[in-house]
Amino acid sequence: MMDFFWSLGSFVVALGILVTAHEYGHFWVARKCGVKVERFSVGFGKAIWRRKGKDGTEYVLAMIPLGGYVKMLDERVEDVPEHMLGQAFNRKSVWQRIAIVSAGPIANFIFAIIALYFMFLIGVPSVKPIISDTIADSPASVIKVTEPSQVIAVDGKKVRDWEEVNLALVGHIGAQNLSITVASLANLTPVMNAEKDAALIGKTYQLDTKAWKFDPEKESPITALGLKVYRPSLKPIVGAVIEGSAADQAQVKVGDTILSINDKPYGDWASFVALVQQSANKSLSLKIKRDGEILILPVTPKAEKNAEGKLVGLIGISPKSPKWPENMLIQMEYGIVGSALNAVDRTWQLTAVSVKTIAKLFTGDVSVKNLSGPISIAQGAGRSADYGLVRFLGFLALISISLGIINLMPVPVLDGGHLLFYFIEVVTGRPVPERVQEIGFKIGAVMLLLLMSVALFNDFSRL
């Protein structure tokens, strides 16, 4: 229950920040263009806080935190006194109206750059993209790995950690081929610095990706491509026990060392997990060592459905996190200028990948099952907040970019739909008839409702 409220709170805070940034873009440019702004609202519905500013604008915080709006003086909405006609939105030139409407999405991109700037300035501890091997008969099987090696570039684009590799690969879904450049572990630097590996020289392999497909709910593009991610060996030491789980009920404690299960000596964590998963609702004998004492604990894995809908056994423990070798760690931290350059570059990458992903929804390379709604976003907000300010800033930047792109889509009701009508006005020299706009807005509302319905259905199916 606490996880629910934490995710909900993080979601409300994140959405409030992003909505404020978006609406402030409209507000600021409207004021600069001489438009009278009557209300600036974060949220919809009944106001829980309001204040009248010296500028005559009413600032409102409303009860439903799922958006916001800027109410401008407009003859199409209400009667405007003659002495205020010059401050009405509809009386402004088409280019001023374009500037006001586009300012919201643009503010989202600017906010993303600012969030990423502070993220890189603070520093993001991460892990270098080291592979231990490749999967046979996969696109990546052409890469010959004789020792742990670092992926240093994807299609010529330098990558420094697994997040950047993942981002680069997602952008190539549906491509016929791509190149992967790897460098031997022997050439890696022994310090945690993002700049040191920039000059690494490796070997480039061309991968045939015509048949490369993957389901984001079941695997990452990294493993789907056939790259085996290097991980330090997991020791048989319990690092966490989920409250109320089968292991908790069996009195398994953090710090216990697993010696055997059903008299079968512990081999590795993967084999241990496989045996537990095969033993749903079956009693197991777990031999552990605690403070020098040997204990035998009976534990019965609880049966739960996995991502494929199959029943598997779970006992609710995870191993103690292993220590990573220093030369495999990296600190994504830059100075004042470097943070700004990397923030702009990351924003551009995220924007490009997001646009390509939306396009691939129409080509079928990406399934509509991958669409996420407010529930998934709330869960993402909660998880990122768990990791601290740095990860939360990265999450805010990603969602802000997504909001900016979605709002620019040429769908009536969204900012992009308004811009479409205004650009038609620029070309034809006269406004699009209001009747046509009304029909467009109704169609756009239905399209948006259908899209949200699919996203919510996907959210609930993932719960």
pLDDT digits (tens, 9 = 90+) for 53-106: 888 899 999 888 778 889 999 988 888 888 888 899 989 999 999 999 999 999
Say how far residue 76 (Cα) sits from the centre of its chain. Answer: 39
Residues 247, 277: one domain? yes
Residues 144, 200: one domain? yes
Q: What is the pLDDT of residue 341?
A: 93
Q: Which two tokens stand for residue 454?
A: 């699919």
Domain boundary residue among 319, 349, 383?
Answer: 319
Residues 193, 328: one domain? yes
Residues 170, 269: one domain? no
Of the candidates 398, 286, 321, 334, the one whose C-alpha atom is nearest the C-alpha of residue 124 is: 334
Q: What is the pLDDT of residue 393?
A: 87
347, 112 Cβ separation under 8 angstroms: yes
Q: Structure pTM?
A: 0.76
Task: Tell me if 77 is assigned to some domain.
Answer: no
Task: Tell me if 69 is assigned to some domain.
Answer: no
**Residue 23 annotated as catalytic:** yes
Residues 289, 327: one domain? no
Q: What is the pLDDT of residue 173?
A: 76
Residues 109, 14: one domain? yes
Task: Tell me if 217 is assigned to some domain.
Answer: yes
99, 34 Cβ separation under 8 angstroms: no
Counted domains in the chain:
3
Q: What is the pLDDT of residue 440?
A: 82
Residues 258, 153: one domain? no
Task: Tell me if 292 is assigned to some domain.
Answer: yes
pLDDT digits (tens, 9 = 90+) for 178-208: 899 998 876 555 444 444 554 556 788 998 8
Assign 310 to helix, strand or coil.
coil
Residues 195, 311: one domain? no
Residues 103, 146: one domain? no
Domain range for 201 is 124-232+323-332
Low-confidence ranges of the chain (pLDDT < 50): 190-195, 198, 373, 375, 377-378, 381, 386
Domain boundary residue among 332, 356, 382?
Answer: 332
Task: Tell me if 6 is assigned to some domain.
Answer: yes
Q: What is the pLDDT of residue 461?
A: 57
Q: Which two tokens stand for residue 320?
A: 């103690």
The radius of gyration of the chain's CA atoms, rounded to the nearest angstrom, is 27
Domain boundary residue among 281, 310, 332?
Answer: 332
The CATH number of residue 268's host domain is: 2.30.42.10
pLDDT digits (tens, 9 = 90+) for 104-120: 999 999 999 999 999 99
Phi-psi group of 155: left, alpha or beta (phi > 0 → left; psi -120 to 50 → alpha; rest → beta):
left
Q: What is the pLDDT of residue 191?
A: 43
User: What span, in angstroms and rounded, lies between the C-alpha atoms of 166 and 129?
Assistant: 10
Task: Tell me if 110 is assigned to some domain.
Answer: yes
Residues 404, 291: one domain? no
Say how far residue 371 (Cα) sits from the centre of its chain. Answer: 12
445, 461 Cβ separation under 8 angstroms: no
Of the candidates 199, 171, 128, 133, the one whose C-alpha atom is nearest the C-alpha of residue 346 is: 171
Q: What is the pLDDT of residue 194?
A: 47
